[in-house]
């Protein structure tokens, strides 16, 4: 009915953390989720103009739904909406990416303390399986797959912690800085180290100690921040697309 022939059947990527966890759909939810996916998965570049009519045709929705979706994405920080001038994919600056990561760090630290108190044997089994899969991807030389599993791993911890507010914020922050995450994969040797850090996190959780878990997570995230800083420095000297 709504999946028109021209709409390119957006696949639900693991990169989308589903900001509204419960099943209740809300106003213009379909167009919103589709657009969100297109942006987060990088189909639109930053600063690219988002013309309502085009999007409506592309997603097989009314201009109405597109409008609602854009407002929502603007509020979420993924899109910049200027009066009478339409919408663009919001470009997050280096500085903002670091700010975001900084907030992410403290939220993840807080959330893992909750997780450590609530984690069950089944949860630990799932987490270990996640890490095993990551190890596989690593040995396959599949850094993109590793990154997906990485996201899944962290989301699993959010679920265990059962802290809706923090999870929501984290999901939003992550979607805003996703573009930077991709670059961080490229750092040589980083994934191996990352894997060890994840293993340490699982073991800390297994001990059910909030302090140890937070320490392990802090250790991990401080490395992530460093890698992000590295990625930014690299990009600054070898910009991908020059200012015109």
Partner DNA sequence: GTTTAACCGATTGTCGACAATATTAGGGAT
Partner DNA sequence: ATCCCTAATATTGTCGACAATCGGTTAAAC
Interaction site with a second copy (CB under 8 A): 24-29, 67-68, 70-72, 74-76, 81-83, 96, 99-100, 102-103, 106-107, 109-110, 163-166, 169, 173
CB of 27 to DNA, least distance (A): 5
Beta-ladder partners of 79: 89
CB of 117 to a second copy, least distance (A): 13
Among a second copy, DNA, none, the one that 7 touches (CB under a kind-dependent 5 to 8 A) is none
Please, which residue, 86 or 143, has the CB nearer to DNA?
A: 86
The binding site for DNA (CB under 7 A) comprises: 2, 27-28, 49-53, 61-62, 64-65, 67, 83-87
Nearest-5° Cα angle at 228, 223 to 232? 150
Please, which residue, 89 or 149, has the CB nearer to a second copy?
A: 89
Axis-axis angle for helices 121-140, 190-206 (nearest 10): 170
Counting other chains too, the contacts that 159-166 makes at CB distance below 8 Å and 24 or more residues apart are 160/114, 160/115, 160/118, 160/119, 160/120, 160/123, 161/111, 161/112, 161/114, 161/115, 161/118, 162/114, 162/118, 163/110, 163/111, 163/114, 164/21, 166/107, 166/110, 166/111
Among DNA, a second copy, none, the one that 22 touches (CB under a kind-dependent 5 to 8 A) is none
Please, which residue, 74 or 126, has the CB nearer to a second copy?
A: 74
Please, which residue, 57 or 218, has the CB nearer to DNA?
A: 57
């Amino acid at each position: 009915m709504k999946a028109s022939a021209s709409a390119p059947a957006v696949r639900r990527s693991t990169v989308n953390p589903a900001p509204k966890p419960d099943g209740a759909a809300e106003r213009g939810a379909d167009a919103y989720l589709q657009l969100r996916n297109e942006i987060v998965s990088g189909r639109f570049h930053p600063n690219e103009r988002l013309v309502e009519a085009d999007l409506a045709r592309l997603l097989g929705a009314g201009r109405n739904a597109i409008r609602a979706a854009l407002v929502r994405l603007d509020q979420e920080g993924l899109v910049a909406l200027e009066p009478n001038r339409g919408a663009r994919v919001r470009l997050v600056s280096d500085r903002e990416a670091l700010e975001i990561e900084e907030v992410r760090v403290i939220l993840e630290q807080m959330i893992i303390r909750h997780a450590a108190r609530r984690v069950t044997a089944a949860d630990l089994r799932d987490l270990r399986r996640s890490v095993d899969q990551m190890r596989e991807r690593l040995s396959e030389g599949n850094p993109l797959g590793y990154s997906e599993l990485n996201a899944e791993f962290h989301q699993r911890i959010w679920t265990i912690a059962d802290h809706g507010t923090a999870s929501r914020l984290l999901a939003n922050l992550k979607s805003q800085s996703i573009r930077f995450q991709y670059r961080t994969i490229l750092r040589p040797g980083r994934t191996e180290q990352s894997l060890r850090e994840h293993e340490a996190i699982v073991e800390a959780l297994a001990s059910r100690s909030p302090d140890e878990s937070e320490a392990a997570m802090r250790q991990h995230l401080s490395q992530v921040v460093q890698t992000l800083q590295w990625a930014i420095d690299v990009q600054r000297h070898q910009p991908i697309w020059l200012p015109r």
